[in-house]
Structure 1
């Protein structure tokens, strides 16, 4: 019979520290030993010894990676055979992903959606993706769904969580795509190591995912970060949210496309960016004006939260300095000087995959909670 460690003994303390390390990587996903030490409060030497023991016991998996341009080893919970799913909805497509329970992506697919497609169709496409890698959907343990905005609780009139749970027999967590991208950038992208920061998504609308004290902040009703619905003109156009003059009515894709229709004909947001990068003056002007308006709104966020880093992503961010320069100038002009000087503006680095990575993180958190 195994004797239990006496409370307060050296061995019981070691068991508690092992459990702490496992809890940290289960909650936050793959981390370096330095990140584990910072998050857990344990010393780097203690973490190093514990990770070695956990690896020998088969309780964690180690994998090579790069952090801040340097080689690193990531520590993740050992896979137990379960599966995690991510569904990230865009305006006319859905990005699907399957990961194992150590959060490693096994398959992903972006597929178009027509206005007539429903969630049953999406579920079929997900089942096809699972079949392509011989994944057993009976082992699906949790699903995370990203939607463009928290103020639209349903997608195309269907109740996301209830429908997906009914079809796939797994619990579902819902969040905005900006929040998911913030999680993805926090774990593997431009927000790594950032204690207070945000992900700014410039796409069909403008939204943010807020990181406070190293954690995603959603607010009391889950609507934190909806900067696109900040009123910038009380007498402006009606926004789909019901208010007037929201930022999105001036810098959302519909507004940008409409402003160019008379001179350029029908364009997509990607077309506008591409033409701007090829020195089309009209498209450049539209993007620069959008950057200035966003910068004024972001200045308010900087004044309130005083973040270290703002990572900018989304289709409009692919214009690079064309949008970042006027955004930065407007931010510097409108924010408190000390707050503006303290914040670094970066391009997001995880790209479109940031939302999927964040979805996997959220699904894992749901499974482990």
Structure 2
């Protein structure tokens, strides 16, 4: 346990002298000296000569040669893979398109090939890969390890994705929802840094959310917390792909947005609509502002129930800034308890739309690697 205390102190504060470690941990200088020697022998720390207060000292830092991390994040029609030394030290990344309604085996095969390609391209062996995190744009049932809704990603139904990927890359694999990963990315490196109770909402082709409660990602009892896209806001509304009526996705997703504009604007992509709205197109602006109001109605329930400090909005529509956030805030102020609405800050996510979930995947992979290292140290 004392070795873990020393290692945790160095991870939290960066390179430290042994005297500084003793101060931070409350351990004696002699104990720290012995522990550092053990950690150095295990390859867990690096030791460098240093000068502090005019005296020679030994600077202790966490060893960087701890292996590689990887994440494979799936969208509706693509997979993005990144390999890194740490969650903020990406070595290589690449995107590969996938056909619409692709099946799990096709997606996992392509992702595994990309992982191998990027690791080998970085001049490393696959044996140096320590952890892989896979993200899917769907609720994940943590009990079964399968997609938690038959109507979402039907081609992945019944597949144990983590097991399939682990067989392909021969490393520990964790599976999570992409909105959860994006929330982790923003919590570690973006708009939710330092927030104890917050929420990240990703709005692109659909809506999903990740919850931070007590400074930790909250997944719920079966892993499906944060599925705001399938919260009913009109029980008589359109039928959703999940089988319910009037889900938020049927009002703010790409399909309803594009359908509303098709009679007047023809065939557009979501990116086209956002660009035209920013250029002043009144029809595109109106439809996206309507989406913002619907999103605000759903968020008002979250604000009343959880009383978060910050809600960060990301995904493609985050490019709209106050054009979207204005209607969101109006709905929250109208529908939430006044004291809760007054205390929440609604802001745009800080990480690029296609980066937040990838960074979050690397954050989770880093946690898996750290847990494995801690387990090894506690039994060493």
Bucket of the pairwise TM-score, normalised by the shorter protein: 0.7 to 0.9
Q: Could you report, residue by residue, the CA deviation over 1:60-83 in whole angstroms, capped at 9, with x for unpaired residues? A: 689xxxxxxxxxxxx984233422
Contact 2:9–2:25 (Cα < 8 Å) also in 1: no
In 1, the alpha carbon distance for the partners of 2:272 and 2:124 equals: 37
How far off its partner does 1:96 sit? 0.4
In structure 2, stretches of 5+ residues that fail to align are 15-19, 48-59, 141-146, 373-380
Q: What pairs up with 1:307-318 in 2 under 5 angstroms?
A: 307-318=308-319
Aligned to 1:106: 91
Greater shift in the superposed pair: 321-330 or 351-360:
351-360
Aligned to 1:156: 155
Contact 2:313–2:348 (Cα < 8 Å) also in 1: yes
In 1, the alpha carbon distance for the partners of 2:81 and 2:118 equals: 8
Aligned to 2:132: 143
How far off its partner does 1:89 sit? 0.6
Greater shift in the superposed pair: 82-91 or 359-368:
359-368
How far off its partner does 1:129 sit? 2.0
The alignment of Structure 1 onto Structure 2 pairs a total of residues equal to 329
Match of 2:194, SS state, is coil
How far off its partner does 1:48 sit? 12
Pair 1:134–1:280, CA change in 2 (3 A): same
Match of 1:156, SS state, is helix
Match of 1:111, SS state, is strand
Aligned to 1:183: 184
Match of 2:212, SS state, is strand
Residue from 73, 79, 85 that aligns with 1:94: 79
How big is the alpha-carbon RMSD for the aligned residues of Structure 1 and Structure 2?
Answer: 3.0
How far off its partner does 1:309 sit? 0.7
TM-score (norm 1): 0.81
Match of 2:123, SS state, is coil
Q: Could you report, residue by residue, the CA deviation over 1:14-55 in whole angstroms, capped at 9, with x for unpaired residues? A: x73x62353478xxxx7557xxxxxxxx999626999x9879
In 1, the alpha carbon distance for the partners of 2:9 and 2:299 equals: 32
Aligned to 1:129: 118
Match of 1:340, SS state, is helix
In 2, the alpha carbon distance for the partners of 1:19 and 1:340 equals: 42
Contact 1:309–1:346 (Cα < 8 Å) also in 2: yes
Contact 1:178–1:207 (Cα < 8 Å) also in 2: yes
In structure 1, stretches of 5+ residues that fail to align are 1-14, 34-41, 63-74
Match of 2:364, SS state, is helix
Moved over 4 A (4+): 30-33, 42-45, 47-50, 52-62
Contact 1:76–1:102 (Cα < 8 Å) also in 2: no
Q: What pairs up with 1:13-162 in 2 under 5 angstroms?
A: 16=2, 19-20=4-5, 22-23=7-8, 31=12, 46=24, 59=44, 77-100=62-85, 104-115=89-100, 117-150=106-139, 152-153=147-148, 156-157=155-156, 158-162=159-163
Contact 1:31–1:76 (Cα < 8 Å) also in 2: no
In 1, the alpha carbon distance for the partners of 2:114 and 2:343 equals: 45
Aligned to 2:364: 362
In 1, the alpha carbon distance for the partners of 2:61 and 2:360 equals: 16
Pair 1:24–1:110, CA change in 2 (3 A): farther
Aligned to 1:71: none
